[in-house]
Amino acid sequence: MMPTLAFQRLLDCAQADRPVAAIVLGSGMGRVAERLRAVQAVPFVEVPGLQATSVQGHHGQVSLGDWAGRRVLLFEGRLHYYECQSWRTVAAPLQTAQFLGTRVLLLTNAAGGIHDALLPGRLMLVRDHIEWNRPYCWQGLMRGEVRPSPYSPRLRQLFYDAGLTLGLRLHEGVYAAVTGPCYETPAEIRALRAWGADAVGMSTAREVQLAHDAGLECAAVSLITNRAAGLSDGPIHHGEVLTNAAAQAERLADLLEGVLRRLG
C-alpha cells in the first residue's frame, strides 16, 4: 500500500523528532488522548498494515504529539485478534512504532479482576503474562531456554514511582490473555486463578512478546473494569467495561504522564 499523504507527514514529523515512547490505549480510554498536543493524526486505515477498528470504545487513530515535554506516538485504540483473525495485524502498531523510531512501548488494557484485591477501578501493573493463544508462535525458543518476562523492570519501577507520587500503590500481577470476544465462563476463571493469573483480558500479551523480541522495552498496565466471570453477581457487559474504563481515564492519564516525565 502506498503511504497516504497524512501518513507521510506523520513519518516526516517522527523523523524530525523521534518519539520517546509509543502508548496504546485500551477499551474506553479515549479521553487519555486529550493530554496529547497532537501535531499529526492518521486514522488506522491509512497506516500500512493496520485496519479500521470494529470495537466500540476504540477510536482507531494514531497521533504524534507532545505530552509532558516528550514526543509521543499514541495509538487511540488497538486491533484484537478476534476482529482481524491475524496476529500480524495485531502486531502492526508495534511495528509501526518501531519503524517511527520508538524504543519504548507502554500498553494499557481493560481487564477483569481475578485476584481478590483487583476490584473495578484498580490499576494493575503487569509483571508477566500467560499467553496460550493459538497458534503458539514461540517454537523457536523451545530449546530448553527459560523465556524471561518481557515486561521491563526499569519501566515497572518508573510506573511504581509515578504511582507513589500520585498516592497510588499499584498492584503488580500476572495478566492472562484470552482471544475473546466473549467473556469467560466461571470455570475458566477458576482455572486461570489456579494457574496464577491475577487479571484477564483480550490483548497485550502477544503485542508485548513480539515487541520485546524485536528489541523494544515494554510495560503494560491493566485497568480493572469488572470482576472476572463468576466473581460477582450477574453477567459482564461491554458497556460496563467502557463506563468503568472511562471513569478511570484521568487517573490512568496522570500515571502515564508521571512515567513520561521520568523517561530518560
Q: Is 202 in the site for ligand HPA (CB under 6 A)?
A: yes
Conformational region of residue 119, where left means phi above 0, alpha means psi within -120 to 50, and beta covers everything else:
beta
| Candidate residues 53, 209, 226, 248; the one interacting with ligand HPA per rule CB under 6 A | 226
Q: Is 108 in the site for ligand HPA (CB under 6 A)?
A: no
Query: Residues 177, 133: contact at Cβ < 8 Å?
Result: yes
Nearer to ligand HPA, 216 or 245 (CB): 245
Residue 110 falls in the annotated catalytic set: yes
Q: Is 236 in the site for ligand HPA (CB under 6 A)?
A: yes
The minimum distance between CB 91 and ligand HPA, in angstroms, equals 19
Distance, CA of 19 to CA of 36 (rounded, Å)? 13
The minimum distance between CB 24 and ligand HPA, in angstroms, equals 15
Catalytic choice (14, 21, 27, 219): 27
Nearer to ligand HPA, 96 or 226 (CB): 226
Q: Is 62 in the site for ligand HPA (CB under 6 A)?
A: no
Sole residue written with cell 499467553:
131
Residue 59 falls in the annotated catalytic set: no
209: its cell numbers: 512478546
Burial of 122 (0-12, 13-18, 19+ CB in 10 A): buried
Residue 63 falls in the annotated catalytic set: no
Nearer to ligand HPA, 40 or 109 (CB): 109
Query: Residues 175, 181: contact at Cβ < 8 Å?
Result: no
Query: Residues 259, 159: contact at Cβ < 8 Å?
Result: yes
Q: Is 123 in the site for ligand HPA (CB under 6 A)?
A: no
DSSP secondary structure string, 158-202? HHHHHHHHTT--PEEEEEEE---SSPPPHHHHHHHHHHT-SEEES
Catalytic choice (76, 83, 131, 207): 83
Residue numbers at the binding site for ligand HPA (CB under 6 A) = 110-112, 178, 183-184, 200-202, 225-226, 228, 236, 241
Residue numbers annotated as active site: 27, 58, 80, 82-83, 110, 202-203, 226, 238
